[in-house]
Amino acid sequence: MSEHQTAGRRMRPRRLGPVGTQAFLVAGAVVLAGPFVWEILTSFKSLTEIAQIPPTVLPAEWHFGNYADVFQALPFGTMFGNSIINALARTTAQLLLCSMAAYAFARIDFPGRKLLFALFLSVLLVPAQLLVIPQYQIIQGMHLLNTVPALFVPGMFSAFGTFLMRQFFLSLPAELEEAARLDGANPWRIYWSIMLPLARPGLMALGILTLLWSWNDLLWPLIVTTDTRKMPLSVGLASLQGQYTTNYPVLMAGSLIATLPVIVAFIITQKHVVEGIAFSGSKG
């Protein structure tokens, strides 16, 4: 390969020559992002056009009607709203509650702290399917089945979020709050006015991860909602598929509507998302 041309520039190992590496990266990007291009193109084609062989790349005629069909088949607009409420409620609650608990675990000495923290950690190990039957019964007992709060109430609390934020607080120097403490500030003021502003990168990481999980979650909302007007988009998509089994243009339009907000949000905040993922990888 063209190793010789660049070898003099810098001594650093490469597994592939620049051309080979570049080709590999392009291939990787095509395989990983290409399906989305095909999704978008298909969503504008007619049902007869997608059955052509060889397939057309660009739609011969742009069919915007597939998007209207999605909203006709299901209350997709309402589902969209449900997804937003669900994601925001879970995220707001977790940012506040997890950071509060994490602050206490990181900075306040109290009897039984280690034991309680170990109990929190044990929750981390328990997979969702072990919890959903009793959780379902609790929600049923609260008369919340088939309501939007059913989607987010259990997800407002998180052992993972507490753990992540605790690791973050532990990495912050204690001098600032020590000075405030000696000035007579109470723990709440120290937490709220000193620690939270310092913890912004950690909060960002937790917030982004929680938004993402809440938006994409399927098993829990599938269990607690049977009424289409209370479903989030993930369950909505599954039922759209039940109705339009092989009408792929409509299914692609629905998939695009359901994922576009997250993809746009990701592209805008991608630096933070990637840092957040890397952070949770090193601390989680």
Partner 1 sequence: MADTVPRTSPVRRAGHRVPSAPARPARRRRTSAQNPLWALVFIGPTALGLAVFYIWPALQTLYYSFTTWGAFGGHTWSGLDNYTELAHDPEVATAFVNTFWYAVLGLLGIPIALTLAAALNGPGRRGVSTYRTLMFLPVVTMPAAVAIIWRWLYNGDYGLINYLLSIVGIQGTHWISNPRTALACVAAVGIWSTIGYNMVILMAGLKAISPHYYEAAAMDGAGPVRQFFSITIPLLSPSLFFVTVLSVIGSLQTFDLVYVMIGRTNPALPQTRTVVYLFYQKAFIENDRGYAAALAFVLLLVIIAVTGLQFRLQRRWVHYE
Phi-psi group of 146: left, alpha or beta (phi > 0 → left; psi -120 to 50 → alpha; rest → beta): left
Which segments within 147-283 are labelled E, that is strand? none
Indicate the helix (H) or strand (E) that contains 119. Answer: helix 113-125
With CB under 8 A as the contact rule, which of the stretches 7-15, 59-67, 144-152, 196-204 interacts with partner 1? 7-15
38-67 residues in contact with partner 1 (CB under 8 A) are 38-39, 42, 50-55
Q: Which two tokens stand for residue 106?
A: 């990181």
CB atoms < 10 A from the CB of 87, how many?
24
Return the closest-CA partner of residue 74 out of 280, 229, 189, 249.
Answer: 229
Q: How far is the CB of 229 from partner 1 (least distance, A)?
A: 18
CA distance linking residue 161 with residue 213, whole number of Å: 12
Provide CB contacts within 8 A for 101, sequence distance 6+: 120, 162, 165, 166
Dist CA 87 CA 217 (whole Å): 10
Q: Distances from the Cα of 103 to the Cαs of 108, 196, 258, in angstroms?
A: 8, 9, 36
Question: Contact between 125 and partner 1 (CB under 8 A)?
Answer: yes
Q: Residue 187: which of 72, 104, 118 has the closest Cα?
A: 104
Q: Binding partner 1 by CB under 8 A: which of 79, 95, 98, 164? A: 98
User: Applying CB under 8 A, does 133 fall inside the site for partner 1?
Assistant: yes
Q: Which of residues 218-257 bind partner 1 (CB under 8 A)?
A: 218-219, 222-223, 233-235, 237-238, 241, 245-246, 248, 251-252, 254-256
Q: Which of 61, 110, 114, 143 binds partner 1 (CB under 8 A)?
A: 110
Specify the stretch interacting with partner 1 by CB under 8 A; choose among 60-68, 73-81, 132-140, 196-204.
132-140
With CB under 8 A as the contact rule, the residue among 70, 95, 150, 153 that binds partner 1 is 153
- Residue 197 near partner 1 by CB under 8 A: no
**Quick one: which of 91, 162, 210, 225 contacts partner 1 (CB under 8 A)?**
162
User: What's the alpha-carbon Rg for the chain, to the nearest Å?
Assistant: 24
We find the least distance from the C-beta atom of residue 118 to partner 1, in angstroms, to be: 12
Give the interface size with partner 1 as a residue count (CB under 8 A): 111
Task: Copy the structure tokens of residue 75.
Answer: 């209350």
Nearer to partner 1, 98 or 203 (CB): 98
Tell me the closest approach of the beta carbon of residue 256 to partner 1, in angstroms.
8
Among 4, 109, 118, 143, binds partner 1 (CB under 8 A): 109
Q: Tell the smallest beta-carbon distance from residue 217 to partner 1 (Å).
A: 8
